[in-house]
């Protein structure tokens, strides 16, 4: 597959899971391509060369002159399009895209597109479960689980529910989702974006060409500027109303998920705990209704859904203390959501938070208020532990060198009825392979108590 042999020359930038899925897709279609990677020796390089022996592969510093030979650069999410060599090629007219645009070119099925700083994996999975409960052949993937192009290997499905990161959306020009949402916006990836405005703009690319937008009424930053003809609906944790999913209290004092005047499901029947998960359930219902999913199937899926691993996952109750694993809380907004979600369920009890890691350039000030309301103590780990310590206020704060010590210290400080919550507000890479490994180590430490 010689790069120079085609008038439509494509170069894939990045040999991670997404880049390799792009290579498989182009190979299936018989489209010539080359591959570059900024790393000298990316993982799986030899396997890739064995699978694609005729593909030109170049590793190391990106060559602007080489990239400019292409008609299209397919940029993996892990590579910033602000890279000087990529920008130089774009300035000379080379088109930039990503795997999502390649995917959209191939399908006719409707798409539900979901992004947000937090909860997008939970809501994406839940909407997929709702569609499956309705008997629909649904594909669920994107930033979550299966790369989108790999979903095409077995043929087109009837519906796609896609979790999309801001990095994927940067290179997404023609999504045209049938239903799209930004669940929430809070500071994240400030090591990649120059400011919050740039991050916000990347997220809102999800609404380009959409048919229906779902808005979080509790977060003004999720409301898009839309052309006439695009319908909208919304969700929030307040009272339900017309085209607004919310919470309605009945005459006996029980809270219900509702829309308009219709009570849908008692909140007590949800297996997922916390106010943030009530919001996730409402978001999924709003997305599913906009996509035409039957309400009965959606409610059946909600009753069964137990949540995702590492996302406010209940681990154990030991000596009157509950342990929750929210290792996916990789930014401040996620940890605030976990504290505000679990805190109101505790009565007079409190939360002992385990936090810290690589903060990705974010500020931690927003942790102060929920910790003041619900926190008993904080155990700090990782590179940015000193920066978190500066904002936690008068709450007792202790340092741990590893996860075993963190769990031991948190258990010592917890009182009966309390929650020990791992929700780091940081990335994991300074101490762990990834957030999954961090969460697994937390679970193992709890099990050893």
Q: Which of 25, 184, 189, 203 is catalytic?
A: 189
Q: What's the pLDDT tens digit per position in 33-46?
A: 999 999 999 999 99
**Second-level CATH architecture of 3-97:** 3-Layer(aba) Sandwich (3.40)
Using 50, 70 and 90 to split pLDDT, how confident is the model at 417? very high
The correct CATH number of 313-447 out of 3.90.190.20, 3.30.70.600, 3.40.30.10, 3.40.920.10 is: 3.90.190.20
How far apart CA 132 and CA 288 sit, in angstroms, is: 12
Domain with CATH 3.90.190.20 in the chain: 313-447
Predicted local confidence at residue 3, as pLDDT: 43
| CATH T-level topology, domain 102-304 | 3.40.1190
Q: What's the pLDDT tens digit per position in 224-238?
A: 999 888 999 999 999
**Torsion of the alpha carbons at 14, 74, 119 and 106, rounded to the nearest 10:** -130
Average per-residue pLDDT for the chain: 94
- Please check the confidence at residue 7 and state whether its pLDDT lies above 60: no
Predicted local confidence at residue 196, as pLDDT: 85
Q: Which of 143, 216, 277, 325 is catalytic?
A: 143
Q: What's the pLDDT tens digit per position in 195-244?
A: 889 898 999 999 999 999 999 999 999 999 998 889 999 999 999 999 99
Predicted local confidence at residue 341, as pLDDT: 87
Q: What's the pLDDT tens digit per position in 112-136?
A: 999 998 889 999 999 999 999 999 9
Q: Which token pair is 353?
A: 């938070």
189 is catalytic: yes
How far apart CA 91 and CA 60 sit, in angstroms, is: 22
Predicted local confidence at residue 5, as pLDDT: 43
Domain with CATH 3.40.1190.10 in the chain: 102-304
How far apart CA 171 and CA 134 sit, in angstroms, is: 32
325 is catalytic: no
Predicted local confidence at residue 310, as pLDDT: 87
Residue 425: how many CB atoms within 10 A of its CB?
27
Predicted local confidence at residue 138, as pLDDT: 98
Q: Which of 25, 120, 212, 310 is catalytic?
A: 120
How far apart CA 440 and CA 373 sit, in angstroms, is: 28
Residues 6+ apart with CB under 8 A from 440: none
How far apart CA 26 and CA 15 sit, in angstroms, is: 14
CA 332 to each of CA 124, 297, 372, 401: distance values in angstroms, whole numbers, following the listed order: 21, 34, 15, 21
Using 50, 70 and 90 to split pLDDT, how confident is the model at 4? very low
Which among 170-174, 192-196, 353-357 has the top mean pLDDT? 353-357
Q: Report percent pLDDT > 70 for the chain.
A: 97
**Helix/strand/coil for 222:** helix
Segment 364-374 shows an average pLDDT of 96
Residue 306: how many CB atoms within 10 A of its CB?
10
Segment 367-385 shows an average pLDDT of 97
How far apart CA 78 and CA 15 sit, in angstroms, is: 10
Domain with CATH 3.40.50.720 in the chain: 3-97
């Amino acid at each position: 597959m010689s790069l120079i042999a085609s008038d439509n020359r494509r170069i894939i930038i990045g040999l991670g899971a997404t880049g390799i899925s792009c290579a498989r897709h182009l190979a299936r279609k018989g489209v010539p391509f080359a591959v570059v990677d900024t790393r000298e020796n990316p993982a799986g390089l030899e396997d890739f060369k064995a699978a694609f022996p005729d593909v030109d592969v170049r590793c190391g510093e990106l060559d602007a002159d080489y990239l400019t030979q292409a008609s299209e650069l397919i940029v993996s999410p892990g590579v910033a399009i602000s890279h000087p060599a990529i920008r130089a090629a774009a300035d000379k007219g080379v088109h930039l895209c990503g795997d999502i645009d390649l995917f959209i070119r191939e399908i006719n099925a409707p798409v539900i597109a979901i992004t947000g700083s937090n909860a997008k994996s939970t809501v994406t999975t839940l909407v997929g479960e709702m569609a499956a409960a309705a008997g629909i052949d649904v594909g669920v993937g994107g930033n979550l689980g299966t790369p989108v192009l790999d979903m095409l290997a077995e043929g087109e499905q009837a519906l796609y529910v896609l979790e999309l990161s801001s990095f994927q959306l940067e290179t997404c020009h023609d999504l045209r989702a049938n239903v799209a949402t930004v669940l929430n916006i809070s500071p994240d990836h400030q090591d990649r974006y120059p400011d919050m405005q740039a991050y916000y703009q990347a997220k809102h690319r999800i609404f380009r060409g959409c048919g229906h937008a779902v808005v979080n009424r509790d977060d003004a930053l999720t409301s898009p500027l839309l052309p006439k003809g695009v319908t909208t609906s919304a969700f929030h944790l307040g009272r339900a109303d017309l085209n607004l999913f919310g919470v309605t209290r009945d005459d006996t004092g029980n809270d219900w998920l509702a829309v308009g005047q219709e009570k849908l499901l008692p909140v007590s029947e949800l297996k997922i705990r916390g106010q943030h998960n009530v919001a996730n359930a409402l978001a999924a219902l709003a997305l599913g209704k906009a996509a035409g999913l039957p309400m009965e199937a959606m409610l059946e899926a909600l009753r069964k859904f137990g949540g995702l691993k590492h996302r406010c996952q209940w681990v154990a109750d030991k000596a009157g203390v509950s342990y929750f694993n929210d290792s996916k809380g990789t930014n401040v907004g996620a940890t605030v959501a976990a504290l505000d979600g679990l805190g109101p369920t505790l009565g007079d009890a409190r939360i002992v938070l385990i936090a810290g890691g690589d903060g990705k350039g974010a500020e931690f000030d927003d942790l102060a208020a929920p910790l003041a309301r619900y926190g008993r103590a904080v155990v700090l780990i990782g590179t940015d532990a000193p920066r978190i310590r500066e904002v936690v206020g008068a709450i007792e704060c202790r340092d741990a060198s590893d996860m075993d010590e963190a769990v031991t210290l948190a258990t010592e400080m917890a009182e009966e009825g309390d929650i020990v919550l791992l929700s780091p507000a940081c990335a994991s890479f300074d101490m762990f392979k990834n957030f999954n490994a961090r969460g697994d180590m937390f679970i193992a430490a709890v099990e050893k108590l």
